[in-house]
A and B are shown apart, each in its own frame.
Chain A
């Protein structure tokens, strides 16, 4: 499990993550929701050792993130960031190969190549493996990055807003894939999502943050209530049952 104990992070006096104690990364998909500036990405940064906490402790499988070697952690936890700008011209295959770096430090073994092939096949990227990243559409690019994360072969997969800048079809495609990764490959996925309906449809558990604190943490269905969502987002949200599924209405 990934556990935070009394974790606080301040930027220039502003508290972004405020004394958070929570553990997540159980089986299935966990969605992290909340308004902009709620501290979701900072929380990911704290777990992914990009941000150092001002107070508190972060552990992955009981290993303290602050003292465990980066390589050891990279074999347990893969993080897909929001902004994946790559300066160099890489092909899809080059990118997926990088997923094996924590295991082989760049010297690929037969086992590494198998992992790469499996990840490429799983994401159905075989036809694009020789293409450069800047020649791909947004959806294909995102799939290439997810393939890299899969090749990393970690138990935990953290995705920071994987649906950013994707159209409807690609959003559903990625979320189905996330679900399959959890169900078929046994990955424990934690993903930041902005659309609560995607969270409700594809996640088992929803953690809601607001102003640096965790304000809700429950099975998806229980979070999908007007009063809970209104408190999280500070706006009126109607929730209707459609075909037995809760759907949040927040337009108009």
Chain B
């Protein structure tokens, strides 16, 4: 009774996509390959080109590696989760005004207390205030937009974009009235820096990010169902509202913690998440989430190695990420349009 022209049985399993060869290896093998790459890069970064005492270099550098791991985890996990919830792969949590809010909070601190206070303040207090304010901001935003009767992801994104612009405008206005020296100090804080992390803050951030990961892992399979969209997910027994609120909270905490630690990395999540979708070749979050994290570490470590050892520059990795990320973002948008 069903008479669609069916392909022959022998051709059934044959892949038509250009990435057929890639897909045949399976996402597990490809994730393992990335894992090996991460280990090799870490080893190379730790033990090569040591100017003085090896143990001193190891100590300093392992902190940098840990910072990269923490940032890559926070950004990779939160971006993939955010993409799935919003069903959009060109957005990042930063579009929700996160980075703009971080800039605003820092600017307000310098504006009211001066750069001296900003530099001499206990870094833990500064970090804690920034994390608390950012998480509070996003939780208020989510509960306002998701708690009421109107539940719309699009409305939330729009509000996020509008608020982001608003925050940026206020920050710029304040920055214009700053002392040039204060402004200099402030600008430095906005370039993400991975090479000089504060030890205590790094550990605190690592704990927060680990808690976030622990919250996301049991939801990985539920996230797969969320790719079908809200109506289908609800039909399949997902408590959509609760799951999405949980995930948004986790995303907020992770992004806030990592931003307060190293500064804003605007496009980084976008790059690693989209590369992860291609590399994993599977929609399943069991693969895409760890792949995004591993790719994040590879990008950060690899980028740092190239900048530091091959080109001899220091500390400007975020500039490169934002530049490459901007180009990649344009590519994604244009490719979508061309389809």
Q: Do these two chains interact? A: yes
Q: Assess whether B235 is in contact with A74, with CB atoms less than 8 Å apart.
A: yes
**B212-246 near A? 1/0 per residue, CB < 8 Å:** 00000000011011011111101111111000000
Does A53 lie at the interface of the complex (its beta carbon under 8 Å from any beta carbon of B)?
A: no
Mark contacts of A48-91 with chain B using CB atoms, 8 A cut-off: 1 yes-contact digit, 0 otherwise.
11100000000000000000011111110011010111111110
Q: Tell me the minimal C-beta distance from B280 to chain A in angstroms.
A: 12
Q: Which chain A residues (121-144) contact chain B, with CB distance < 8 Å? A: 123-124, 126-130, 132, 135, 137, 139-140, 143
Given contacts A98-B225, A101-B225, contact A173 B2 (CB under 8 A): yes
With a cutoff of 8 Å between Cβ atoms, the chain B residues found around residue A176 in the complex are 1
Q: Using C-beta atoms within 8 Å of the partner chain, give the interface range for chain B.
A: 20 to 34
Can you pick out 24 interface pairs between chain A and chain B where the beta carbons lie within 8 Å of each other? A49-B234, A50-B230, A50-B231, A70-B238, A70-B240, A74-B235, A79-B235, A81-B232, A83-B231, A85-B229, A86-B227, A87-B89, A87-B227, A87-B229, A99-B236, A101-B221, A101-B238, A105-B222, A128-B12, A129-B12, A130-B12, A130-B13, A135-B16, A143-B2
Known: A127-B7, A128-B6. 8 other contacts (CB 8 A): A49-B234, A70-B238, A78-B235, A86-B229, A90-B283, A98-B224, A101-B225, A101-B238
Does A130 lie within 8 Å of B15, measured CB to CB? yes
Judged by a CB distance under 8 angstroms, whether B49 is at the interface is no
Top 9 closest A-B pairs, CB basis?
Answer: A106-B221, A74-B237, A71-B237, A127-B6, A102-B237, A88-B283, A88-B227, A79-B235, A124-B2
Contact of A48 among B6, B228, B234 (CB under 8 A): B234
Interface residues of B in 1-36 (CB under 8 A from A): 1-2, 4, 6-7, 9, 12-13, 15-17
Q: Which residues of B contact A (CB under 8 A)?
A: 1-2, 4, 6-7, 9, 12-13, 15-17, 87-89, 221-222, 224-225, 227-232, 234-240, 283
Decide if B235 touches A81 in the complex (CB within 8 Å): yes
Partner of B9, one of A87, A101, A127: A127
Closest CB in chain B relative to A236 CB, distance in Å: 35
Complex Cα gap A87–B230 (Å): 12
Compute how far the CA of A86 lies from the CA of B225 in the bound complex, rounded to whole angstroms.
11
Residues of B within 8 A of A90 (CB): 227, 283
Chain A nearest CB: distance from B10 CB in Å?
Answer: 11
A94 to B12, CA, bound (A): 15
- Residues in A with CB closer than 8 Å to B4 are 137, 139-140
Whether A152 is near chain B, meaning CB under 8 Å from some CB there, is: yes
Tell me the bound Cα distance from A156 to B88 in angstroms.
Answer: 32
In the complex, the answer to whether B283 meets A70 with C-beta atoms within 8 Å is: no
Q: Provide the residues of chain B in CB contact with A173, threshold 8 Å.
A: 1-2
Neighbouring B residues of A70 by C-beta, 8 Å: 234, 237-240
Q: Which residue of B lies closest to A99 (CB)?
A: B236
Q: What residue of chain A has the Cβ atom nearest to residue B9's Cβ? A: A127
Please state if A98 and B229 are interface contacts (CB–CB under 8 Å).
no
Residues of B within 8 A of A83 (CB): 231
CA distance A126 to B11 in the complex (A): 12
